[in-house]
Amino acid sequence: MHYGMVVDLKRCVGCQACTIACKSENGTPPGVMYTKVLDQVSGEYPNVRKQFVPVLCNHCVNAPCEKVCPTGATHKRADGLVLVDHDKCMGCRACYVACPYNNRIFLKRGKLKSGYHGKTMTPYEAVKYKEHQDGIVEKCIFCSHRVDAGLKPACVQTCPADARTFGDLDDPESQVSRLIRSRGGVQPLSEDSTEPSVYYLS
Amino acid sequence: MEQSEMVKQKDYWAKSACKMCIHSCAIRAHVVDGVVVKIEGDPDNPSNRGKLCPKGLAGIMRLYDPHRVKTPLKRTNPKKGTGVDPKWVPISWEEALGTTAARLKKIREEDPRKLLVAINDFHRIHIWGWGAAFGTPHYFSTVGQYCGAAYHPVNGTLDGSFAAVNDYDHCKYWIQIGAGDGFSSHLHVAASIKRMADARVERGMKLVVVEPRMSSGASKADEWLPIRPGTDRAFVLGMIYVLLHELNVYDAGFMRKHTNAIYLTAPDGNLLRDERSQKPLVWDLAAKEAREFDAPGLALDQVALEGSYLIDGVEYRPAFQVMKDTLQDHTPERMSQVCSIPAATIRRIAKEFGEAACIGSTIMLNGKEYPYRPAAVNFYRGALGHFDGGLDSMAMKLVNLVIGNIDVPGGHIGVGLDHRLLIIKPGKDGMLEPQPHILHPPYAYNEKPYSYQLMEWYPIGIDPGHLTADNVLNPEKWGFDFQPEALIIEHSNPMWNLSATNKVAEVFKKLDFIVAIDIVLNESTDWADIVLPDLSFLESHLLVCIEPPMVTGHVYRRPVIEPLYDGRDATDILSELAERIGFLPNWNGLLNFTTFLTSENHLDPNTRYSNLEITDRMAKSIYGPEQGLAWFQEHGHSTRLQTPEEMYLPFAAQGLRIPLYFNFVKETGDELARKMKAAGREWDTSSYLPVPIWRDRHPLHNMPAEYDLYAFAFKECQTNFSESTTIPWIDEAISCMPIHLGVMINSKTARGKGIKTGDLLKLESPFGEVTGRASVCEEVHPECLALSNGMSRWSQHPVGKRQVTTHFNKLLPAAVEWTDGMTGHLETSTKVKVTVISQ
């Protein structure tokens, strides 16, 4: 089993539903986005090309973050998910530097003391911030709690365009494998030999 | 499950309906220990199928917004103004309702017209008429301005629809003009993004997007055609010219069978009628004589579409020929001069469109044969939010009519406002009865105006609420002999969403008493004397179904948790005010009509009913006695996919024709002109035309030369509707998106003016000025500035405020001269001059 995600750039309309679904599912504090959608514009008027590029942790097979982690907090599960053990992370940020995709976020100490409306926590934030820890590094976890319950990650579940597909890269008949084959899936920065588990279709 | 049982559980998913925009996607909320921890799309719903847009997903942050109104509030600071702290103090419901009712009762006894009304909660259209029941005709809100005064009446006139969208499942060539369908807005966006993505990627549908700014849709299109604002009609009229005068491509069969294209038309533009029966006449080519359109034995393929026929010395032409002749000077070359799209491109797109239409082909659906026209033009407010917007709308319909794609598989499909779907009733002349007033009945004409929005002089328009400010401030202009004293607002924000913001502020200053019903404070409630807290959508009951394309039925909005604060449902608040003020019988009578109550469910005139009771009666009236509120509590929603019979050619099933020639519009205009002349009033009815043409006399395109750049506002999926611009998650997401962060200006234009990204600019129109940061980019027409609504807020609510507020509406006018004569739509683009304040 090797979980991965395929992002179809033809389908993505840049609506940011994934961004908000992730915030809502994971209850991340202000400034912390496990995923977001970048706007890329190239060309000159009137020959302009605009693409929306969702980015998230690539859950690399050869994860540079895992290699540099001195405490073993960043670890790879047998199913390919790269996760951070909150109890083991000491916040040294070596992984933050090592990630070539800039997809790791450091939660400063005190970060969880205030929410989107300052010190007044909403009932939602009061519940969800308990799942986080300050002074450590966080990132997209492919919604491991949902995956473990047999569900798709929240971004995949909501994507109105069905631009994100999640599944087993080891299974040649899975939807992700078939999409990568038929549409020519490309891994981001594959020359770095990180072997990302996220593929893009264009 | 019953409400009380459901909320007792420790961990549950509750089905409900979204209200983070005006549509009503089905949702489910996950509640753990009484706290909503997640909102998702309802996976069982055939429309959004579990999907939800960013606004809907962010509903939690609206529910738990600490800036919600938690109790009734009273202003203690007598000073009012922009940025002035009202110094709210909490008061009891008894004091709040007592004070409000006493003030409004006095007004009602003196002259009910002294009350202005801004009640425009789109999910609760049933309460819009509260003002009418009170006795005041005014709308001080943007009903028609930002929705579609020029859209809905033309849809209703064409095929009894309220909205329209192309057929996602079958269309193969989709031209999108000034619309967000399938990408950012309109008609259940979470559902339509999926349908559009499937059409684009799975079926290889070609998409051409025509608009001055490269929106999300244009980014995904096969082609983006940048166009000058307010000239979209010229583009499609150029296409029609190519189809009819150069390519000879049109669907004669559809026109003969389903439209009035064959009706003979006199030189004065009126239909030729049989003297005795008054039925329209057509020319029988076989018999070489005029016959009644429905004459027995008349062979449709022998009825003339073209030509000119002499009857008693007068030349009569079929309506199709009149339309064709009328547009004979709308060459691509001339239209290109107007709209800035090259003539060769207009020709190519028209050819591709005509070829893709597969005229003559059919498709079998559920064992029934339908015409198959997989090409269509889809459009919305960007295309028609203009002076002459009615003609814009008609032109967009006409280009579709030419290829015979109205309400057929692959084509341009009418969408109903609600469960009634398209309203198909027999009208005169074998035609469908035009339905320009699906939202509420028309206002009766009167020589002397009685509504500030002049609705009585826009017989097929929708509430030009923007005119209210101008008419309050200049009552002598049309002869208003009363002045407003008070304003009631329910879930509307006239200070922010009306045009001519400075004029609106002047009106607010004149008012002695303002009461607002809402869940958060906004630019308008900042001026209120009393604020009454409504329940949020996650705390209230409603059966709702707003413009559902492809599906029908109702989604049941239910409280997913117990209400957090001391709020009350807006319907209950308005019912109690009606009782206290003394017009409960009028109010109940109106609710009978607006909630579709059958006679056995009618409300007793003198009993005050709760929202729950009314909802139960509504459910039973629509679905039968067994399917009241209890059924919805158990089952959630009643939505289902529309059948092909409901979607395709519903008018033909009743033997009715639709207009290709809009004689209804002409006749309405002629009648208004007669009345206005008799009243000695100067009133421009020149846009009530049966065939849309381009008219050079257009105020937007004839502004003084110093205003050298067009300016317009835009929204994207994240920021549609003000609801989302004060949500912190949305605010955070759009802060990564350059389009929402500054005034978009094309790089070549910026270079010419020495403007760089980040420069502080002053934008001046003849009607107002704003400041804004420049955002130099490639994604906008060089003659235009584009302004996101994401930088438009200035209320006391701390979220969504920018260091520089760039509120586009300040740049717009509010007068009749800038309003579409046919429909009352405001011209929503303007022109500005730009200066750099600082770099």
pLDDT at B143: 75
The rounded distance, in Å, linking the Cα atoms of B796 and B83 is: 7
Helix spans in B54-167 (H): 54-57, 59-63, 93-110, 130-134, 152-159
CB contact under 8 A, B53 and A17: yes
H-helix or E-strand spanning residue A20 = helix A17-26
B355 pLDDT above the threshold of 90? yes
CB contact under 8 A, B198 and A128: no
CB contact under 8 A, B224 and A48: yes
Same domain assignment for residues B443 and B390: no
Of residues A41, A123, A158, nearest to B51 (C-beta)? A158
Query: Which of A24, A120, A165, A196 is CA-nearest to residue B27?
Result: A24
Q: CA torsion angle for B354, B355, B356, B358 (degrees, to 10)?
A: 100
B144 pLDDT above the threshold of 70? no
Determine the residue of chain A that is closest to B798 in CA distance.
A117
Examine residue B73 and state whether it is found in any structural domain, yes or no. Answer: no
Question: Which DSSP category does B599 fall into?
Answer: G
Helix (H, G, I), strand (E, B) or coil at A70: coil
Of residues B32, B220, B226, nearest to A46 (C-beta)? B226
Mean pLDDT, to the nearest integer, of B310-326? 97
Question: Which DSSP category does B72 fall into?
Answer: -
Tell me the torsion sign for CA atoms B705, B707, B708, B712. negative
Q: CA torsion angle for B8, B9, B15, B18 (degrees, to 10)?
A: 70
Same domain assignment for residues B711 and B631: no
Instruction: Characterise B239 by phi-psi region: left (phi > 0), alpha (psi -120 to 50), beta (else).
Output: alpha
The rounded distance, in Å, linking the Cα atoms of B515 and B501 is: 20
In tens, the pLDDT along B428-437 reads 999 999 999 9
Whole-angstrom distance between the N-terminal and C-terminal Cα of chain B? 61
Query: Which of B235, B230, B204, B196 is CA-nearest to residue B348?
Result: B235
- Give me B564's structure tokens: 């957090």
CB contact under 8 A, B201 and A10: yes
B36 to chain A nearest CA, in Å?
Answer: 7
In tens, the pLDDT along B614-626 reads 999 999 999 999 9
Length of chain A equals 202
CB contact under 8 A, B200 and A43: no
Question: Which DSSP category does B604 fall into?
Answer: P
CB contact under 8 A, B747 and A48: no
Largest CA distance in chain A: 53
Question: What is the percent of chain B with per-residue pLDDT over 70, rounded to a whole number?
Answer: 100
CB contact under 8 A, A157 and B736: no
- Residues facing B771 on adjacent strands: B762
Examine residue B824 and state whether it is found in any structural domain, yes or no. Answer: yes
Interface test with A, best of B28, B61, B747 (most A CBs within 10 A): B61
pLDDT at B146: 72
Chain A residue numbers with beta carbons less than 8 Å from the beta carbon of B198 are: 162
The rounded distance, in Å, linking the Cα atoms of B150 and B692 is: 13
Instruction: Characterise B269 by phi-psi region: left (phi > 0), alpha (psi -120 to 50), beta (else).
Output: left
Determine the residue of chain A that is closest to B189 in CA distance.
A160
pLDDT at A191: 74
Of residues A10, A36, A51, nearest to B736 (C-beta)? A36
Same domain assignment for residues B126 and B224: no
All structural domains of chain A with their residue ranges? 3-201
Whole-angstrom distance between the N-terminal and C-terminal Cα of chain A? 26
CB contact under 8 A, A44 and B747: yes
Q: What is the mean pLDDT of chain B?
A: 96
A62 to chain B nearest CA, in Å?
Answer: 29
Strands B362-365 and B314-318: unpaired
Chain B residue numbers with beta carbons less than 8 Å from the beta carbon of A8 are: 201
Same domain assignment for residues B129 and B255: no
Strands B551-552 and B640-641: antiparallel
Instruction: Characterise B655 by phi-psi region: left (phi > 0), alpha (psi -120 to 50), beta (else).
Output: left
CB contact under 8 A, B224 and A157: no
List % helix, strand, coil for chain B (3-state, nearest 5): 35, 20, 45
Of residues B37, B716, B732, nearest to A30 (C-beta)? B732
Examine residue B57 and state whether it is found in any structural domain, yes or no. Answer: no
Determine the residue of chain B that is closest to A51 in CA distance.
B219
In tens, the pLDDT along B705-740 reads 999 999 999 999 999 887 789 999 999 999 889 999
Task: Please count the other Cβ atoms lying within 10 Å of the Cβ belonging to residue A114.
Answer: 15
Three-state secondary structure string covering B463-484: CCCCHHHHHHHCCCCCCCCCCC
How many structural domains are present in chain B? 3
Determine the residue of chain B that is closest to A156 in CA distance.
B51
Mean pLDDT, to the nearest integer, of B127-149? 90
Examine residue B82 and state whether it is found in any structural domain, yes or no. Answer: no
- Give me B640's structure tokens: 């289902």
Same domain assignment for residues B393 and B507: no
Same domain assignment for residues B594 and B718: no
H-helix or E-strand spanning residue A178 = helix A175-183
Determine the residue of chain B that is closest to A9 in CA distance.
B220
**Residue B143: which residues within 8 A CB-CB, separation 6 or more?**
B120, B149, B439, B462, B463, B465
CB contact under 8 A, A48 and B778: yes
Kindly give the interhelix angle for B332-339 and B343-356, rounded to the nearest 10 degrees: 110
pLDDT at B710: 98
Examine residue B155 and state whether it is found in any structural domain, yes or no. Answer: no
CB contact under 8 A, B201 and A160: no
pLDDT digit string (tens) for chain A, length 202 residues = 999 999 999 999 999 999 999 999 999 999 999 999 999 999 999 999 999 999 999 999 999 999 999 999 999 999 999 999 999 999 999 999 999 999 999 999 999 999 999 998 999 999 999 999 999 999 999 999 999 999 999 999 999 999 999 999 999 999 999 999 999 999 998 777 899 999 999 9
DSSP for B686-735 reads TT--SS----S--GGGGS-TT--EEEEEE--TTTSSGGGGG-HHHHHHHT
pLDDT at B668: 98
In tens, the pLDDT along B739-782 reads 999 999 999 999 999 999 999 999 999 999 999 999 999 999 99
The arrangement of secondary structure in A3-201, i.e. its CATH architecture, is 2-Layer Sandwich (3.30)
Compare A77 and B795 and report the one with higher pLDDT. A77
Residue A46: cis peptide before it, omega within 30 degrees of 0: yes
B1 pLDDT above the threshold of 90? no
Q: Cβ(B784)–Cβ(B214) under 8 Å?
A: no
Task: Please count the other Cβ atoms lying within 10 Å of the Cβ belonging to residue A71.
Answer: 14
List % helix, strand, coil for chain A (3-state, nearest 5): 25, 25, 50
B6, B162, B595, B747 from B578: Cα distances, Å: 33, 30, 17, 56
**Residue B111: which residues within 8 A CB-CB, separation 6 or more?**
B482
Helix/strand number for chain A, H first, E second: 7, 9
Q: Which residue, of B619, B653, B670, is where some domain finishes? A: B670
**Residue B8: which residues within 8 A CB-CB, separation 6 or more?**
none
Residue with tokens 């934030």: A125
In tens, the pLDDT along B436-456 reads 999 999 999 999 999 999 999
User: In CATH, what number is assigned to the domain containing residue B445?
Assistant: 3.40.50.740
Amino acid occupying residue B409: P
Amino acid occupying residue B668: T
Cβ within 8 Å of B, A 155-184: 157-163
A100 to chain B nearest CA, in Å?
Answer: 20
Mean pLDDT, to the nearest integer, of B580-589? 98
Same domain assignment for residues B712 and B784: yes
Question: pLDDT category, B803, cuts 50, 70, 90?
Answer: confident
Of residues A11, A19, A123, nearest to B54 (C-beta)? A19
H-helix or E-strand spanning residue A4 = strand A3-8
The rounded distance, in Å, linking the Cα atoms of B491 and B514 is: 13
B522 to chain A nearest CA, in Å?
Answer: 17
Same domain assignment for residues B209 and B95: no
Chain B residue numbers with beta carbons less than 8 Å from the beta carbon of A21 are: 40, 52, 57
Examine residue B583 and state whether it is found in any structural domain, yes or no. Answer: yes
Does this complex have an ipTM over 0.95?
A: yes
Residue B465 belongs to what domain range?
Answer: 91-142+439-539+569-638
Task: Please count the other Cβ atoms lying within 10 Å of the Cβ belonging to residue B111.
Answer: 13
Length of chain B equals 839
A183 to chain B nearest CA, in Å?
Answer: 11
Q: Is A150 on the interface with B (CB under 8 A)?
A: no
Same domain assignment for residues B136 and B248: no
Amino acid occupying residue B11: D
H-helix or E-strand spanning residue B748 = helix B747-753
Same domain assignment for residues B794 and B824: yes
A19, B457, B737 from B740: Cα distances, Å: 16, 38, 6
CB contact under 8 A, A11 and B197: yes
CB contact under 8 A, B226 and A24: no
Query: Which of B430, B424, B426, B460 is CA-nearest to residue B442?
Result: B460
User: In CATH, what number is assigned to the domain containing residue B755?
Assistant: 2.40.40.20
H-helix or E-strand spanning residue B530 = strand B530-533
Question: What is the percent of chain B with per-residue pLDDT over 90, rounded to a whole number?
Answer: 94
B739 to chain A nearest CA, in Å?
Answer: 9
Same domain assignment for residues B483 and B410: no
Same domain assignment for residues B128 and B252: no
